[in-house]
Amino acid sequence: MKNRKVRVAIHYNESIFKHSTSWHFAWINYCEANNIDYSIVDCYKYDILETLKNYDCLVWHFSHYSLQDMLFARSILMSAENMGLKVFPDVPTAWHFDDKIAETYLLDSIQAPIPKAYMFYTLKDFVTWLDNDSKFPIVAKLRCGSGSNNVKLLKNRTDAYDYGKKIFGKGLVSTPSILYKGSSQLKSAKSWATIKARIKRIPDFIESFSKARRLPRQQGYVYLQEFIPNAGFDLKIVVIGDKLSFIARNIREGEFRASGSGSFYFDRSLVTKDIIDSAFSVSDRLKFQCMGYDYVIDDRDNIGKIIEMSYGFSHTTLLQAGGYWDRSGEWHDEPLNAPEEILKHLIEVE
């Protein structure tokens, strides 16, 4: 695409979902700053495939909080790719998005460093495992949801059995808890400035909550993950091409979860060589365009384990790391702007 003018289609439909951190803002800014021909398109229009015939690339930061996005975005993106467009996210990057069970099967298939996981699809099989092979504590997760929403630490058989009865019965909702989210954000705020910044994000949370309420209840399975003893933090490791950056997150006081805490810091010494090597390796083998891995470092063997992954994350928080590692492990003092980097790769801008 380097020898001719490239036309980029950027999806946006604020009636379906809107958020101040949507990557479409960064894509627009990059296109305008670099004189790249682009248009805002609505992939929910009935004639979208006809419209896309006029473009070379389609980028869409679709959200796990939107029912329509989760039902239809991947089908539309794949159809556009079949028409010859370069798309983000593509099938390898997005087919497992917001599905922790799918992520586990995929990562296990290449022997990536992950905790032991247990999936059950009938209450009978789950109870048999409880009676014969279970060890506690163990972490129970819904297959969807973010920010540690509906992640529970089961401490004994009674906890586990009660959890299983619920999810194999009427099921559990994956909608974020307003009380839980609000209290954790306030507890982790270290200054009045941080509190004010988070207050400004209230409209985003209300939007996410209102949309997520339409998502279906989760039922018919149990997904458990080995509890990993750790040093009280986790790492969001982001890989895009030959660049890798990170966000460190403190685990909440009196908690076992870091995701969604809002307590970020950027100590590069926490990112070990084995984490850098394994993250690059997983992205290469699974052909991801962009991936954010949640790592915890296992106290028992000092090895980083991937507990979740997602193509989407806060790119503005990632910028605060101030740079990235290359494949040789050398640090570069240039912030990694994820949406811009993705678009550069997509249109082959050097």
CATH of the domain at 147: 3.30.1490.20
Number of domains in the chain: 3
**Same domain, residue pair 104 and 216:** yes
The residue range of the domain holding 317 is 233-339
Residue 52 to residues 4, 60, 82, 319: CA-CA distances in angstroms? 18, 13, 11, 31
CATH code, domain with 250: 3.30.470.20
Structure tokens given for 122: 């009938």
Instruction: Please report the pLDDT score of residue 17 as a whole number.
Output: 85
Q: What is the pLDDT of residue 350?
A: 39
Where among 50, 68, 88 does a domain terminate? 88
In this prediction, residue 348 carries a pLDDT of: 83
In a domain, residue 335? The reply is: yes
Burial class (CB in 10 A: 0-12, 13-18, 19+), 210: exposed
In a domain, 1, yes or no: no
The one-digit pLDDT tens for each residue of the chain (350 residues) are 554 689 999 999 999 988 888 999 999 999 999 999 999 999 999 999 999 999 999 999 999 999 999 999 999 999 999 999 999 999 999 999 999 999 999 999 999 999 999 999 999 999 999 999 999 999 999 999 876 668 999 999 999 999 999 999 999 998 765 555 555 555 555 665 656 665 666 676 676 676 777 889 999 999 999 999 999 999 999 999 999 999 999 987 666 664 545 689 999 999 999 999 999 999 999 999 999 999 999 999 999 999 999 999 999 999 999 999 999 999 999 999 999 999 999 998 43
- Whether this prediction's pTM lies above 0.85 is answered by yes
Judge whether 41 and 48 are in contact, CB under 8 Å.
yes
Q: Judge if 56 and 114 occupy the same domain.
A: no
Q: Residue 258: inside a domain, yes or no?
A: yes
pLDDT in tens, 144-170: 987 666 899 999 999 999 999 999 999
C-alpha closest to that of 28 among 13, 39, 44, 42: 39
Q: Are residues 220 and 251 in the same domain?
A: no
In the sheet with 138-141, reading across from the earlier edge strand, the strands are 117-120, 222-226, 138-141, 151-154
Token pair in block for residue 236 = 């969001």
Neighbours of 335 (CB within 10 A): 16
Domain boundary among 88, 116, 134: 88
Q: d(Cα 109, Cα 144) in Å, to the nearest integer? A: 20
The pLDDT of residue 251: 84
Chain centroid to CA 178: how far?
20
CA distance 290 to 306: 15
Query: 194 in a domain, yes or no?
Result: no
Backbone angles phi, psi at 206, to 5 degrees: -60, -40
pLDDT at 175: 77
- Two tokens at 11? 């999806």
Q: What is the CATH number of the domain that holds 76?
A: 3.40.1010
**Does some domain include residue 205?**
no
